Chain A
């Protein structure tokens, strides 16, 4: 909830004075702000996704039974999402592997996402994180698309992600792909500055019992239980449940914050391969969270279910159909608003080869969103209370092999949304691999961030106010934010043990968010009064020093220059508090006697506005593999300082012990 408070300060700084109208001193205004803040609870949710063909889960027997023709038709990527080799991809991708996850100190998704430096992860309080890519790190961080197994999890209420509702059993994650830069052509609106694609394992690979228990100082306790089995040789499943309780953080002044929270979730996944050409997945998840606040507790909960069918039509064509339903609800206290959202989504994707050198991928989708808000005060609100939204999209992409070493990819997505109508997001990419161990790639793309309810339906207060009194009255004319992105990257694997990647970009933005008064009045509206540029560099690498020692590292440089368009007076600094420099170094070592030592150090540069000092975070993990099926570990997080500030609250140094059993 304080994330919202912060959000309000960040995003609508013009109104800070408004809060003061009703209160003569700062602490009172803080209370008012907090009330407002509570505002959006956390919802979560989201949208579009493309599907994944899981060809890479074939058993040896299945592969051997295939004819040569069938082998030749096997896709080694999830339909253009899953590159066979990182060196071949024409975008700035960094990957978190299951091994990285197993050896990390992370206890949830946001902590895990600190393992890549093309994201800026800032922890606001005990439950809230702000995660952005290529800038614009603000509470309503909205230019990033996040998907879990093909289900989009951003909220159309504010186009951001409620990270405290995204619970996944970390041991069940196969990998996380983090693409910085636009992904709008394939992935859809919101993939302006990046895409996070979280993929969990096929249930065939999570057979048996997994039980783990953690106890610690900040992660008070965490328990996970998962069981995977097979109903027939081709039909496997897993069921799981998890519970976490986390302690409070500290307010900027050092006092204890009232932000202890806990969350439980449970779910299942079933994978059925009725024939070698067909794969069917059905999965569902349900969660419920509760957080203390200075007043009454906040609550959130949600349920989702997703089905996917992938079908090989022939040796070089395939079809994927996916549908999901998602409900999410939250109420923050002291809250002024409840929000409940229902999403229904259907996606179809088809790929085929055209001649020898063309490979076409095309598809479409429809999403229906029902958003219900309940404003319990007139001071602030989202109006109308109910809004039904539709999203229609089609996309097509052609991968052309112009030369054995050169591939050109052209594509576009055309999307229709209720706020701005048709949006077109084309991209062109080129990869040149002079050798199998190195690739140079470049891309030009256009992407848009379509309006969310907070851009259009936001009122402060919700009753009519004369134009000589301050008010915010939605954004009736708000249009999509736009970017043109120019990227150039290089990847090399100088030998088997070293990989290096470098990506650079220059982005040109137009129609960015602003809150500006209508001429001659104090009536503010949400508008598109800002434009600007950003540029930066992302380097990452891995080095396997020996069979038992691996190091990984990354460095990101980012800078931006935003300007007001004529007539806009909005404070452009409110659009994002971005670090110029950020670095990471991790080391994973196997020691003698089944001991593992994992260290991670991250450097986070100064944030300009509000000014936050640079900091160095340090995590360590020592694990002992006992009896092959039992693992004991002791993990320290944020060991560098007793407490540090990332953006608002002080995050404490912490320690936890964990026992994991697999049978």
Chain B
């Protein structure tokens, strides 16, 4: 096929299927790559963590990823989990603007600016078998489980297994092997 013909076909397709290349302004822009990667990590974590049956019954109850605080992913997280299921559990996203609203999630991404609020949030969901994730620098010290870190421009993560164990979450050895393990001696 000549290149011209390809061009012509493309042009017709484009004319047929254009709807809105609306010019979004400040709203809903694709998040920066680092949050795209973090969103995909969150999705991946669902495959490497086992929740107790009490919080994730065997039938097709949804596995919920929650975000508390300002949502850094835009709609990207929804795009990532759309149509996905893990062992029969469809994935869904819930957003909470405040700690008090948090309920019914299995993974919680905490995007709160100060350590006190984070501590407060972690206290609140203690004993609920929620896998807690954040990129706040003091997250593990405050009792969080997985912290995203930036190592030489790459997004990697640290895990505090003590925290996940006490929440009765089983993190697979593969995930643990890839992570940097942080144990807090005074805990």
Contacts and interface: CB of A to CB of B under 8 A. Distances in A.
Contact of A63 (B36, B149, B156): B36
B37 A209 contact: no
Contact of B10 (A68, A72, A83, A229): A229
A345 to B, nearest CB: 26
Interface in B124-138: 135-137
A518 to B, nearest CB: 53
A74 B7 CA distance: 34
Given A71-B37, A72-B155, A316-B154, A629 B21 contact: yes
Contacts of B151: 356, 401
B116 interface: no
Nearest to B21: A662
A230 B26 contact: no
A71 B34 CA distance: 10
B153 A230 contact: no
A245 B20 CA distance: 31
Nearest to A207: B14
Nearest to A405: B137
B19 to A, nearest CB: 8
Interface in B142-157: 149-156
Interface in B77-113: 79-80, 113
A271 to B, nearest CB: 15
Interface stretch (A191-199, A295-303, A478-486, A543-551): A543-551
Contacts of B37: 63, 71, 74, 76
B149 A404 contact: yes
A66 interface: yes
Contacts of A631: 23
A596 interface: yes
Contacts of B155: 71-72, 74, 76
A359 B20 contact: no
B128 to A, nearest CB: 25
Interface string B2-33: 00001100110011001011110111000011
B33 A76 contact: yes
A134 B40 CA distance: 42
B22 A628 contact: yes
12 contacts: A68-B41, A69-B178, A72-B156, A84-B33, A209-B14, A316-B154, A404-B137, A405-B137, A495-B113, A625-B22, A628-B21, A662-B21
Given A56-B32, A72-B154, 11 more contacts: A60-B76, A73-B154, A76-B37, A76-B154, A84-B34, A227-B7, A316-B152, A353-B152, A436-B137, A628-B22, A662-B21
Interface of B: 6-7, 10-11, 14-15, 18, 20-23, 25-27, 32-34, 36-37, 40-41, 43-44, 48, 70, 76, 79-80, 113, 135-137, 149-156, 174-175, 178
